Amino acid sequence: MAINQPTEDMTMNNFVKGLEEIFSSIEIDANVKKAIIKAIHLEVNNTVSLLTLQERLRILYEYEKNYLELIKEYKEEIKFAATLQEDLRKERTKFFSEALKEVSITLKESQVDSKVASIWIKELVDSYTKSLDLSSGLIEEHTLDMIGEIRQDAKKEAREVKEKNG
């Protein structure tokens, strides 16, 4: 709910003109009239500005509160997705830092020809990488689905807040 600033300014200008019309029939010094009108204008303007600010803050509070409730609602799913991604990264690191080294050592100890060993290792790396990429894709898809669901709920809540606040 955006407040249209030019409309506020026009309303305030109309208010000042109304005050000037009211004070035009009163016989007092022109400078005193201007000072009274200015004082009333400033007081009303500060009050209106404060009310507008309070309304904006209330709407922002409702909006943020709804987001926090959504995060709280989906906390376990968010943790689960993060854990899956972390586990996959650990598995990939472990494979390339430990498992591949062990396979290479085993092939050497078994006296497998180096050309054959390198072909096997290459195929193992390709196969394992494809497997990890597939797992990563599934995790990403799940995460994106979950994010989409959270966004839909957030949009729904935002519409409700907007409708509630006119």
Phi/psi for 4 (5° steps) reads -80, 110
- Residues 141, 77: Cα–Cα separation, whole Å: 13
Give kind and range of the element (H or E) at residue 129.
helix 114-164
pLDDT digit string (tens) for 53-108?
A: 888 888 888 888 888 888 888 888 888 888 988 998 999 999 988 999 999 999 99
Q: Of 156 and 162, which is predicted with more confidence? A: 156
Residue 4 has pLDDT above 50, yes or no: no
Residue 10 has pLDDT above 90, yes or no: no
Q: Which of 102, 78, 90, 77 is nearest to 132 (CA)?
A: 90
Q: pLDDT-based confidence at 6, cuts 50/70/90? A: low
pLDDT at 103: 92
Predicted model pTM: 0.48
- Residues 37, 49: Cα–Cα separation, whole Å: 18
Token representation of residue 161: 């807040």
pLDDT at 90: 93
Residue 119 has pLDDT above 70, yes or no: yes
How distant, in Å, are the alpha carbons of 70, 83, 113 from that of 73? Answer: 5, 17, 57
Domain ranges of the chain: 5-70, 74-164
